[in-house]
Structure 1
Amino acid sequence: MTRHALFVGGTRFIGRRAVREFRDAGYDVTVFHRGEHESPFADDEAVDHLRGDRTDDGDLADAAARDPDVVVDLVAYQPRDVRTATRVFDDVDAYVYVSSGAAYGDEAVPKREGETALEPCTDDQATDDSGGTYGPRKAEGDRAVFAAAEAGVNAMSLRPCVVYGPHDYTRRFDYWVQRVANYDRVLIPGDGTNLWHRVSVENVARALRVVAEEGAPGEAYNVGDWTLQTLRETVETVADALGTDVDVVTAGHRELAAGGLEPSDFPLYRDPPHVLDTNKLRSLGWDPQAPTEAVAETVEATPERDADEAQQGPDRAAEERVLGVLDTL
């Protein structure tokens, strides 16, 4: 009998790739969403659409009435969302909550499930919607999953690090694609060895299905690219995908100050390193995509890659001032 997957959310970045992953695996799919974004599956008769608000208990009950075998919760941003969903979908074979690597509270390298402490979450943080409370809210959502599993719900959690790939509306990766596409010299903060673990959207989609099918209730699973790339390696991989060469120029705090810049102004830079241990997910049978393939797909899909300015990151004039200082040293 064909299994049925219900996606809470699913019309945007991670969701659109994950829906295809489940459809390709033979699932019937229902996408439960508010209809605020155009659905990439609007003309796909194999994907059912249910309009509603996940914060409305009646709408969520209507979604549960579709009798899904698997629920993938992509848009649970507050702990109460998870508590409500695990109550409404308490009889499914798998409820998979999309958490985040930001849920970790300790700067261990690498961060391991069940070992590295999670962020605490106050009552005020739990109902906030600002970026500063994102990690604590995701951590509290994880704890809601664990509590639901103890009560007999087949609930589990997936923790992605920074996700990149086609249709990424955050456009964090675009900056580096556009710099490589437009300039011979690309400025990188630090010494180029910065490690902020990333994961392709393809790898997240594969992980969601593996966890839904093979994961254990009450468990959390990290997901990040199996092979990590430093920021320098990422830029070089982008250059390879574009069939070009670039001169990678590194700059410390003092040099960056000449352009009024800080290392954190550059997308995908983080200090200290952020690395997730993904062995637990791999043990379930997860087969990850290689970063070189993922970056090539991302480059191909990057909008306006020939534009002079990226949506995020420093402007080129500031970078040129830094490069000018470095040329005098």
Structure 2
Amino acid sequence: MPTVLCIGGTRFIGRATVSEFREHGYDVILCNRGRHSNPFVDDPAIEHVTCDRRNDEQLRVVADSVDPDVVLDLVAYYPRDVRVATDVFDTVDAYVFVSSGDAYGEHRVPKREGEAALEPCTTEEATDDTPETYGKRKAEGDREVFAAAEGGVRAMSVRPTIVYGPHDYTGRLDYWLARVDNHDRVVVPGDGTSLHQLAYVGDVASALRVVAEEGQAGEAYNVGDRHAPAMAELLELLAAACDRDVETVYAGARELAPDLRLDDFPLYNDQPHLLSTEKLRGLGWEWTPHATALEATVAEHRESDRNGSDRGPRRDVEEDIIDRLGM
């Protein structure tokens, strides 16, 4: 069976990706520093090698000892990470870099690979570690993929938008799930038309597999849900998944002031963010309908201790707004 080396692999996207490749008959080896608990520790079929991916020599030792067929780079956050990895693993059948929809620097609806311009990235930004340069660094990582492909490496990029699903440690969707699951009235910023396309984690994992198997060297592939609900519809989908009847209370900038801003709420976006997935679907990729994806997401959310409370406004502040609006 083909051997897949997952650089990362123990959290969220990595966890779903390991399961995806195992289910399709691949041997999987995790490659990371071992600082996070390994959810596959009891599975003898999944090996683990300890390595600091930013230590070039350690990475070369792994390449020589494992000799993988496929490399999935789940934790490349700097352009140098991609440049070194595509050099170290230059003979693999496929190297797939997990980029981001944030790599796009041009507002277009939808954003298509090869059409919407990528973010620029200066030398200083390429080594910066702040959230403000995240998209720029991912864009430069994409350029490293393209350069490696020109040099003969079968290197490709996958660009997911905001990812959700079981084991999502970011808490972005947990915030809304906790509100819907525990309260009868929920404050929605604006008029409910804010749109930020999401991507189910299982679909990101399957995209990585499909691209590794069918993708073209030097190409990038967007990943996102085929249907992108605006925030009001997203809350309806969450309520249905939680089997709850929830009243949404819309509050614009005036109603939120002075305590809150619209963008204090997770997933709020003042411009629609939508990625075309036509190119990925051309490889045979399929998406998971919301009802199925959210059923699994809600089940794991309820088993976890996450409520996303640090990702958005406090409930008492929201209740004050609801009271002011006479709801």
Please state which band the TM-score falls in when normalised by the shorter chain. over 0.9
Change (3 A) 1:304 1:289: closer
Query: Structure 1: how far apart are the matches of 2:92 and 2:180?
Result: 47
Aligned pairs for 1:312-327 within 5 A = 312-327=311-326
Query: Structure 2: how far apart are the matches of 1:205 and 1:195?
Result: 23
Question: What is the match of residue 148 of structure 1?
Answer: 148
Q: Is the 8 A contact 1:309 1:316 kept in 2?
A: no
Q: Is the 8 A contact 1:182 1:306 kept in 2?
A: no
Q: Is the 8 A contact 1:29 1:48 kept in 2?
A: yes
Deviation (angstroms), 1:59: 1.1
Query: Structure 1: how far apart are the matches of 2:251 and 2:208?
Result: 38
Deviation (angstroms), 1:305: 7.5
Query: Structure 2: how far apart are the matches of 1:309 and 1:157?
Result: 30
Question: What is the match of residue 6 of structure 1?
Answer: 5
Range 299-308 or range 60-69, more displaced: 299-308
Question: What is the match of residue 114 of structure 1?
Answer: 114
Deviation (angstroms), 1:317: 1.5
Q: Is the 8 A contact 1:191 1:252 kept in 2?
A: yes
The alignment partner of 1:156 has SS state of strand
Query: Structure 2: how far apart are the matches of 1:309 and 1:287?
Result: 29
The alignment partner of 2:15 has SS state of helix
Query: Structure 1: how far apart are the matches of 2:148 and 2:308?
Result: 46
Deviation (angstroms), 1:314: 0.2
Query: Structure 1: how far apart are the matches of 2:251 and 2:29?
Result: 49
Aligned pairs for 1:198-277 within 5 A = 198-257=198-257, 260-277=259-276
Deviations 1:235-277 (A, max 9, x none): 111111111100111111101115x111101011111111000
The alignment partner of 2:129 has SS state of coil
Query: Structure 2: how far apart are the matches of 1:54 and 1:171?
Result: 26
Mapped pair 1:57 → 2:77? no
Query: Structure 1: how far apart are the matches of 2:306 and 2:28?
Result: 37
Deviations 1:145-187 (A, max 9, x none): 0000011100000000000111111111111111111111111
Q: Is the 8 A contact 1:181 1:306 kept in 2?
A: no
* Gaps in structure 2 of 5+ consecutive residues: none
Q: Is the 8 A contact 1:178 1:306 kept in 2?
A: no
Query: Structure 2: how far apart are the matches of 1:203 and 1:82?
Result: 23
Query: Structure 2: how far apart are the matches of 1:53 and 1:72?
Result: 15
The residue type equivalent to 1:199 in the other structure is: A
The alignment partner of 1:29 has SS state of strand
The alignment partner of 1:173 has SS state of helix
Query: Aligned residue pairs: how many?
Result: 326
Range 226-235 or range 137-146, more displaced: 226-235
The alignment partner of 1:109 has SS state of coil
Deviations 1:30-71 (A, max 9, x none): 110100001011111110100010011111112212111110
Q: Is the 8 A contact 1:309 1:315 kept in 2?
A: no
Q: Is the 8 A contact 2:171 2:306 kept in 1?
A: no
Change (3 A) 1:148 1:212: same
Change (3 A) 1:194 1:213: same
Deviation (angstroms), 1:306: 8.9
Change (3 A) 1:197 1:173: same
Q: Percent identity?
A: 58
Question: What is the match of residue 24 of structure 2?
Answer: 25
Q: Is the 8 A contact 1:86 1:95 kept in 2?
A: yes
Query: Structure 2: how far apart are the matches of 1:250 and 1:8?
Result: 43
Deviation (angstroms), 1:308: 8.1
Question: What is the match of residue 178 of structure 2?
Answer: 178
Deviation (angstroms), 1:316: 1.1
The residue type equivalent to 1:13 in the other structure is: F
The residue type equivalent to 2:44 in the other structure is: E
What is the RMSD computed on CA atoms of the aligned residues?
A: 1.4
Q: Is the 8 A contact 2:28 2:46 kept in 1?
A: yes
Query: Structure 2: how far apart are the matches of 1:23 and 1:60?
Result: 23
Q: Is the 8 A contact 2:20 2:205 kept in 1?
A: yes
Change (3 A) 1:307 1:101: closer
Deviation (angstroms), 1:292: 1.8
Change (3 A) 1:144 1:308: closer
Query: Structure 1: how far apart are the matches of 2:247 and 2:101?
Result: 32
The alignment partner of 1:196 has SS state of coil
Range 58-67 or range 305-314, more displaced: 305-314
